[in-house]
Amino acid sequence: MGNVRRVPTSTIEPPADAEAPRRHPKAPGPGERTREHHSQCRGCADVPGSLRIRSWVEDDGVSVRSRFDVLDEHQGGPGLLHGGLLMTAFDDALGTAHTQVVRAAVTARMETDFRRPVPVGTTLWLRSRVDAVVGRKVYTSGVAYLGELDGEVAGTARALFVKVGAEHFLKHSRPEDLEALGASREVIEAARAAP
C-alpha cells in the first residue's frame, strides 16, 4: 500500500445495552413528509443535480421510508444505477432517519452491501431507522428495495453519525452559504477564531 496511512476506526455496531431511540419532540409525526436537510442538499432538496429523495415518517414516529426514482443521469454501468449513488441515497435516507431523533449529526462511517443491480427506470424504496444513540454517536441502518417496499432487496447499509452543533457548519461551510442561511460575518469569524 506504499505510503497510505491506516486511520484507526472504532466499530459501528451499537452496544447491546443501548437504549431504544425516542422521537425528537420537534420532528414531524407519523405519515408526514420529512424536511430536506437544507435547501441545497443534493440528496433531498428540489434542485438541479439532486437525487430528489423524498421521505415520510413511519407509524413508529422514528423510522422513515424514502423514495428514489432511478433515472438515466444516475447510471454507472449501462442502464444500471451507479453504486456510489446508491450509497448517496443511503446516506441521505439514514441521515433523514437521524433527524427524527437528534437535531444535527454528520456521517462518520458507512458500510453498504450491494445485493442486486438496479436498472434505470426503477423506483427504489428505502427503510431507514436509528438503532441506538450513545452519547454523540448515532447508529443507523437501512434496506433498499426494488420497485416496492419490502420487495426484492437491492442493498443494505449501516452508518454511524456523530452529533454536531452549529459550530461545525460555522467553522467548515463556505461563508456565503452560511450568510444565505442568516449567519452574520461576525458570528462566522468568531466561530473560526475559537480553538
- Residues near ligand DCC, by CB under 6 A: 9-10, 12, 37-38, 91-92, 95, 104, 106-109, 135-137, 160, 162, 164, 169
Residue (of 142, 54, 156) closest to 98 by Cα position: 142
Which residue type, as a one-letter code, is found at position 125? W
Q: Which residue has the cell 438541479?
A: 48
Tell me the residue nearest to ligand DCC as measured from the CB. 95
Grid cell 468568531 in the structure block, residue: 190
* Continuous segment of H or E residues that includes residue 189: helix 185-193
Nearer to ligand DCC among residue 109 and residue 116 (C-beta): 109
Residue 10: CB minimum distance to ligand DCC, A: 4
Report the distance separating Cα 59 and Cα 8, nearest Å. 38
DSSP-derived 3-state class of residue 119: strand
Q: From the CB of 82, what's the least distance to ligand DCC, in Å?
A: 17
Which cell is 83 given? 453504486
Q: How far is the CB of 162 from ligand DCC (least distance, A)?
A: 4
Q: Given the complex with ligand DCC, which of 95 and 146 has the nearer CB atom?
A: 95
> Is the Cβ of residue 62 or residue 160 nearer to ligand DCC in the bound state?
160
d(CA 96, CA 131): 13
Nearest distance in Å: CB 71, ligand DCC? 21
Q: Which is nearer to ligand DCC, 3 or 9 (CB)?
A: 9
Compute the least distance from the CB of residue 41 to ligand DCC, in Å.
Answer: 6
Nearer to ligand DCC, 107 or 141 (CB): 107
Residue (of 176, 189, 174, 129) closest to 156 by Cα position: 129
* Closer residue to ligand DCC, CB minimum distance, 63 or 96: 96
Smallest separation (angstroms) from ligand DCC to the CB of 64: 13
> Strands, DSSP E only, in 27-176?
54-57, 64-69, 105-114, 123-134, 137-146, 152-163
